[in-house]
Amino acid sequence: MIFKENYFNKETRQGFEISEMMKRAWAAQMEVLQIVIEVCEKNKLQYFADWGTLLGAVRHQGFIPWDDDIDICLKREDYNHLIQILPEQLPHGFVMAGMYAQTERLRLAAEVPQLRVMADETMWDFNDYMRYFHGFPYQRAGIDIFPLDYIPVDEGLTNIQKVIIQQGNTLLENWVQLEMVGSLEAAIEKFEEVCNVKLNRKDDIRNAIWRLTDAVASLYREEESEYLTNYAFWITMDHYKMKKEWYDEVVMLPFENMEIAAPAKYHETLKAQFGDYMVPVQGKADHSYPFYGHMERELIKQIRAVGFQGSIDEFCREVSSGRLRV
C-alpha cells in the first residue's frame, strides 16, 4: 500500500492532535486490513466496517481522529468460514489470534477473544517489518474481527443466551482475581451449572469457556431472527442491535487512502449504535490510548542498545527508509 510522504506528518483533525507514530499505526493496520480483504474477496465472504471504523468511514472518511484501531465484522456463517480458512490462506508473516488460534501463545495474543489477524513478530526480520509496516516499530500490528449473530424472536430464548454469555464473560474477565483469592473453581462450577455442562479440567478450560459462550451466541439462524448483534456489546447495551436487512447490500466508503465495505443502510446502523452519530464526541476507546503506549519505554531501551541516540520518530524514519539497519 502506497502512502504519500506527508501522510505521516503530525496533524490536527477536529482539534485533536494525531502524532506521527499514530499515523504509522494507522498505516500498519490498513496493511493488515488489506490482507484480510483479499482473503474475504477470494472466498466470496462479505465483511463490513464495524463500530468506530464504520463511524470513522462515514463521518471522517477515515479513522476517527482519537481512535487507534480497526474493527470489522462478518455475519456468523461467513465468520466461521473465515476462521477455517485463515490459517491456510494468510501469507507468511501473518497469523490468526484469539480463541480459535492453534497455539496457546496466539490464543492469548489477541486483545479481544473473538478473532484478530496480526503480524507475528517471530516470522519477521525487524528491518523488513519496519519497511512493510511504514515504520511502525511495535510488534503484532493487526485488526479485530467480530461475528454478527442473530437474535432469536423468542424473548425467552434471548434472555437465556444473555445470562449464559454474561456469566461466561464475567468469569473470564475476573479470572486472575478469582484465582488469587481461591474462588476460581467455585465460579467455574457455577457457570457449568448454568450451562448444564461439565468441562474437562485437563483442557485449556479458559479457552473452552470462551468457545462455549461463542457457541451460545451463534445458536440461531437468519430465519429465526429479525435482528443482528455482536453479543459482546449487546449484553451491556440493549440498543446495540441492527435489523438484518440493513446488511443485505454493501456500499464502498472512502477510508484514508483506501475503500472499505459498509452496510448500505449505514445510517440506520450507526443511529442504532451511537444515536446522533454525526456529532463528534471526543473520547477514548475501550482500551488505553494509544494502544502501544505501554511499550514505549522498552522500545527506547532497545533503540539505545543499538547505539541510536535520536528520538523514536527519527529512528522509525531511518529504519523504514532503509538508511539504518539494526
Residue 231 lies in a domain: no
**Tell me: the pLDDT tens digits for 38-69?**
999 999 999 999 999 999 999 999 999 999 99
Is residue 300 pLDDT above 60, yes or no?
A: yes
Burial grade of 268 (CB within 10 A; 0-12, 13-18, 19 or more): middle
Residue 230 lies in a domain: no
Does 135 lie in the same domain as 248? yes
235: left (phi over 0), alpha (psi -120 to 50) or beta: alpha
Does 87 lie in the same domain as 18? yes
Residue 233 lies in a domain: no
Query: Prior bond to 290 cis, omega within 30?
Result: yes
Whether the Cβ atoms of residue 308 and residue 324 lie closer than 8 Å to each other: yes
Q: What is the DSSP letter of 244?
A: G
Does 108 lie in the same domain as 247? yes
Res. 210 pLDDT band, cuts 50 70 90: very high
Res. 108 pLDDT band, cuts 50 70 90: confident
Residue 203 has a CB neighbour count (10 Å cut-off) of 10
Q: How far apart are CA 283 and CA 77, in angstroms?
A: 33
Does 198 lie in the same domain as 283? no
Whether the Cβ atoms of residue 153 and residue 244 lie closer than 8 Å to each other: no
**What pLDDT score does 235 carry?**
86
C-alpha distances in Å from residue 305, one per residue of 128, 156, 299: 19, 60, 10
Which range marks the domain in which residue 69 is found? 5-150+243-321
CA dihedral 134, 140, 142, 147 (to 10 degrees): 180
Q: How far apart are CA 185 and CA 199, in angstroms?
A: 11
**Tell me: the pLDDT tens digits for 120-168?**
999 999 999 999 999 999 989 999 999 999 999 999 999 999 999 999 9
| Percent of the chain predicted with pLDDT > 70 | 98
Does 165 lie in the same domain as 34? no
Whether the Cβ atoms of residue 110 and residue 183 lie closer than 8 Å to each other: no
Does 211 lie in the same domain as 85? no
Say which range, 79-88, 113-122, 146-155, has the weakest mean pLDDT: 113-122
Q: How far apart are CA 130 and CA 280, in angstroms?
A: 33
C-alpha distances in Å from residue 32, one per residue of 73, 140, 246: 15, 10, 26
Does 182 lie in the same domain as 101? no
Instruction: Please enumerate in sequence order all residues whose Cβ is within 8 A of that of 216, keeping only pairs 6 or more positions apart, or say none.
Output: 161, 164, 165, 168, 195
Dihedral pair phi/psi, residue 227, rounded to 5°: -130, 155
Q: How far apart are CA 73 and CA 25, in angstroms?
A: 20
State the angle between helix axes of 20-42 and 76-89 in degrees (0 to 180), rounded to the nearest 10: 100
In the chain, the number of structural domains is: 2
Q: Which three cell numbers stand for residue 169?
A: 464473560
Does 258 lie in the same domain as 130? yes
Average pLDDT over residues 234-254: 94
Whether the Cβ atoms of residue 67 and residue 56 lie closer than 8 Å to each other: yes
Q: Which three cell numbers stand for residue 141?
A: 500490528
Does 172 lie in the same domain as 40? no
What's the predicted TM-score (pTM) here? 0.94
Does 172 lie in the same domain as 27? no
**What pLDDT score does 98 carry?**
92
Whether the Cβ atoms of residue 144 and residue 114 lie closer than 8 Å to each other: yes
